Copies of this chain bind each other. A is one copy, B any other.
């Protein structure tokens, strides 16, 4: 309950009362979502849908599990996306030649067109952000983001033991 209405530092970072790295990630995620939502108004896909289309476009065909891992989302969430994409006839399923238990997902011609159209809007956001980051800064930012993501992955795995302990 620190801070008074006159305290100009009331809503900026304070050395004595630190929020966590997780809070910084939360705020960054919120701001980038705002950027992409603004850029993608009327683009035909929401930002999270666009991410799923992009992964299939860039890296498909993929199994549901691979798609979920690549997006960093729970399987159930990705299954919802896949259902919606299938209903729009944007997704094709083929037998997985290396694993008879799973199918591989890829975009249909219609899905590819939808992705390409949405890409133009997404690129507005991407270009606007890159204008404000030096290329060297972007490279080190991406490396750092992946390091934190890898640490988060290990933290998720360690959580049950920590909760029990």
Instruction: Mark contacts of A96-121 with chain B using CB atoms, 8 A cut-off: 1 yes-contact digit, 0 otherwise.
Output: 11110000101100001000000000
Q: How far is the CA of A92 from the CA of B97 in the complex (A)?
A: 60
Q: Are B72 and A27 in contact (CB under 8 A)?
A: yes
Contacts of A32 in B (CB 8 A): 22, 25-26, 29, 152
Q: Do A133 and B28 form a contact, CB below 8 Å, given A124-B163, A155-B125?
A: no
Please state if A159 and B59 are interface contacts (CB–CB under 8 Å): no
What is the size category of the interface that chain A forms with chain B? Answer: 35 or more
Decide: B2 and A58 in contact? CB cutoff 8 A.
Answer: yes
Complex interface: chain B residues within 8 A of A60 (CB) = 1, 3
Q: Do the beta carbons of B10 and A26 come within 8 Å of each other?
A: no
Whether the pair B152, A28 counts as a contact (CB closer than 8 A) is yes
Specify which chain B residues have a CB less than 8 angstroms from the CB of A55 in the assembled complex: 11, 19
Enumerate chain B residues within 8 angstroms of A67, measured Cβ to Cβ: 11
Give how many copies assemble into the complex. Answer: 2
CB distance from A54 to the nearest CB of B (A): 6
Given contacts A70-B11, A163-B124, contact A26 B51 (CB under 8 A): yes
Which of B27, B99, B156 touches A31 (beta carbons < 8 Å)?
A: B156
Q: Is the CB of B145 within 8 A of A21?
A: yes
Q: Mark A62-89, 1 if CB is under 8 A from B, else 0.
A: 1000110111111000000000000000
Q: A25-B29, A129-B151 are in contact. List 8 more A-B contacts (CB 8 A).
A: A2-B58, A3-B60, A6-B98, A11-B55, A11-B70, A19-B55, A26-B32, A30-B73
